Chains A and B, each alone.
Chain A
Amino acid sequence: MGIVIAVISGKGGVGKTTATANLGLGIAMNGKKCVLVDFDIGQRNLDMILGLENRVVYDMVQVMEGEANIKQAAIKSKANENLHFLAASQTKDKSVLDSAKVEKLVADLKESYDFVILDAPAGIESGYEHTIEFADAAIVVVNPEVSSIRDADRAIGILDSKSAKVKNGEEVAKYLIINRIVADMVESGEMLKSEDILEILNIKLLGKVPEDKGVIDASNQGKPVILDKKSIAGQAYSRIAGRLCGQKVDMKDIEVADTGVFKKLAGMFK
């Protein structure tokens, strides 16, 4: 019996889909069976980040409608066979989602995978509500930037009121990923520190991901950045995936600029 995790953000463009793809692959690399489901109906994107856009035959709406089964629709990742993927429908709109069908899809996926990760659409409309409704836990992705943090707080508020677990008197676990951290800016006081963001949102930290130009290069190629062992963002996602798989991985302090002695000396005389 697997765990269902919704990846949410409120605001779009903060790296939610990138995080979903990398965590899924990271989990698969740890030997766990993982399925990623794109819930962004009408704006399918996870397929491109994974490099699987040409392999989509059936989408998740067709599975929910009974037109295809999970085995037919699940696409195996080229990078790791433990990772499967269900595409969003590109032709339908968000109104096709309904609670009973989502509940069944999620329950069926839980039977065959250790991790079921749902990539939520941006915004806090019905598509978002359906994504979080049957999740056991949520990963909130933010950038260290005011609009992203404010929108995340709204998304968390809706999670706390609309989740089926909360309605049953249980708690839905919430964890934060802070994405696109620029150490120099944090050090100079021009970017929010992670501890401040955690305090404002009142949430536990899952991991910090540094800004990394390699992320765009990776999505250009449809190869998640976690496959690039030299990438600092990729390394951050590896650490987070390890934590999700129950390993004790220390929080690396990526908010301190990694500069050499000479650069530090030069900095003093600026």
Chain B
Amino acid sequence: MFGFLKKKKSASLAKDRLTIAIMSDRDRTNGYPFMDEMKAEIMEVVKKYIGVRGVEIRKEIDGDIEALAIEVELDKNI
């Protein structure tokens, strides 16, 4: 009857561990297989106007809202 006082139940441990593992899986896979292609294209477009060192795209998920965060690092030497 007092079993619940002993330790955290394994189901809630599973939930915590899964939430973290899945978040990092989603980050790593970046969500879409066409990311590299898209990065290269964005780089080409920006390059027409200004020097670019690199493009980073991240898929961000917050509840029901999904967004792409695109970061363009400029190259001051060009």
Cβ of B77 under 8 Å from chain A:
no
Tell me the complex Cα distance, A269–B19, Å: 35
Which A residues, 139 to 175, have Cβ-Cβ distances below 8 Å to chain B? 145-146, 149-150, 153-154, 157, 160-162
Tell me the complex Cα distance, A200–B29, Å: 17
A146-B14 CB under 8 A given contacts A154-B25, A157-B29: yes
Which A residues, 188 to 243, have Cβ-Cβ distances below 8 Å to chain B? 188-193, 196, 200, 202
Tell me the complex Cα distance, A149–B19, Å: 10
Please report whether the interface of chain A is mostly helix, strand, loop or mixed according to DSSP. Answer: helix
Question: Contact at A190–B9, with CB atoms within 8 Å?
Answer: yes
A189-B26 CB under 8 A given contacts A146-B17, A157-B31, A269-B1: no
Question: Contact at A192–B29, with CB atoms within 8 Å?
Answer: no
Residues from chain B with Cβ under 8 Å of A154 in the complex? 25, 29
Cβ of B5 under 8 Å from chain A:
no
Cβ of A268 under 8 Å from chain B:
yes
Tell me the complex Cα distance, A189–B12, Å: 7
Residues from chain B with Cβ under 8 Å of A269 in the complex? 1
Residue total for A at the interface (Cβ-Cβ under 8 A): 23
18 contacts between A and B (CB under 8 A): A149-B18, A149-B22, A150-B18, A150-B25, A161-B31, A161-B32, A186-B11, A188-B3, A189-B9, A189-B10, A190-B9, A192-B11, A192-B14, A192-B15, A192-B18, A196-B15, A200-B19, A268-B1
Q: Which residues of A contact B (CB under 8 A)?
A: 145-146, 149-150, 153-154, 157, 160-162, 186, 188-193, 196, 200, 202, 268-270
Q: Which residues of B contact A (CB under 8 A)?
A: 1, 3-4, 9-12, 14-15, 17-19, 21-22, 25-26, 29, 31-34, 64
Starting from the known contacts A189-B12, A190-B11, 12 additional A-B residue pairs (CB-CB under 8 Å) come to A150-B18, A153-B25, A154-B29, A157-B26, A188-B9, A191-B11, A192-B11, A192-B14, A192-B18, A200-B18, A269-B1, A270-B1
